[in-house]
Amino acid sequence: MGFSSCHDRIPLASADECRHLKCRQHEFESSFAVSHWQLRCCQYRGGDEHIENQPQLIREIGRILKPGGNLALSAPNVLNLISRIRFLFSGFLRGRIRPVRYSKMPVLAPNIYLLHFYELYYLLFHYGLTVSELRRARGKFASRFLMYLLWPLMRIFSLLSVVYAGKDPVQRGDNGQILSYMLHPAILLSNNFVVKARKIINGENRPGS
């Protein structure tokens, strides 16, 4: 876990810029020892599923990024098609396929705080960031087969139940944007997703678009 100057899949800064950037370590459960709006880019490579206070993590990332700065974040994808089928039959999602060992304390338990993509999207939105790119990591052939088979039905059902069912036109627009990501191959196929988000405003509680 940690922050760094750039991501191996989504470039945040040029090679020349990366040579002059320094690495720092921070305690994720508390405020970072970094002043407001200091960083042009930061990277978080997995580990959010181990963080008890995930809103605090995203809030601090939003606080230390300069306007126009970028975040690259990778996380386990609990919404891929294989995970959804697993949940249907067992009640457990990808990353947490069986009950947590009760000998483990919450701060040490693996993958107990799994974050759905739409929850991450919500936190990024309200802490001043917007998703600018979504990429997938490795996936399985079975997921690709299921996507071709089920995607049309998923789109129709999602449009009816998620977008058109909304009464607030502003919220319907937001729901449509989220749905476009929920039907993205990175979410349907991948075991992990990689999000690139850009800081667009300072402050919190951004109003709906």
Contacts 24+ apart (CB under 8 A), 56-60: 56/28, 56/29, 56/30, 57/28, 58/120, 58/123, 58/124, 58/127, 58/129, 59/123, 59/127, 59/204, 60/31, 60/32
Task: Sheet with 39-45: list strands edge to edge.
Answer: 39-45, 65-76, 192-199, 129-136
Domain boundaries along the sequence of the chain: 15-140+190-199
Phi-psi bin for 63: left (phi > 0), alpha (psi -120 to 50), beta? alpha
> pLDDT 10s digit of each residue in the chain, 209 long?
345 433 344 444 455 545 555 555 555 556 665 666 677 888 887 667 777 788 888 888 888 898 999 999 988 899 999 999 999 999 988 878 888 878 877 766 677 788 899 999 999 999 999 999 999 877 677 888 889 899 999 999 999 998 888 888 888 999 999 999 999 999 999 989 999 999 998 776 666 65
DSSP H or E segment with residue 68:
strand 65-76
CA distance 43 to 41: 7
For residue 74, the cross-strand partners are: 45, 194
pLDDT tens digit string along 18-29?
Answer: 555 555 555 555
Give the CATH superfamily of 15-140+190-199. Vaccinia Virus protein VP39 (3.40.50.150)
pLDDT tens digit string along 132-157?
Answer: 999 987 767 788 888 989 999 999 99
Buried b (16+ CB within 10 A) or exposed e, 149-173: eeeeebeeebeeebbeeeeeeeeee
What pTM was estimated for this model as a whole? 0.79
Q: Which of 149, 197, 152 is nearest to 44 (CA)?
A: 197
The first and second tokens of residue 38, run together, are 């200091």
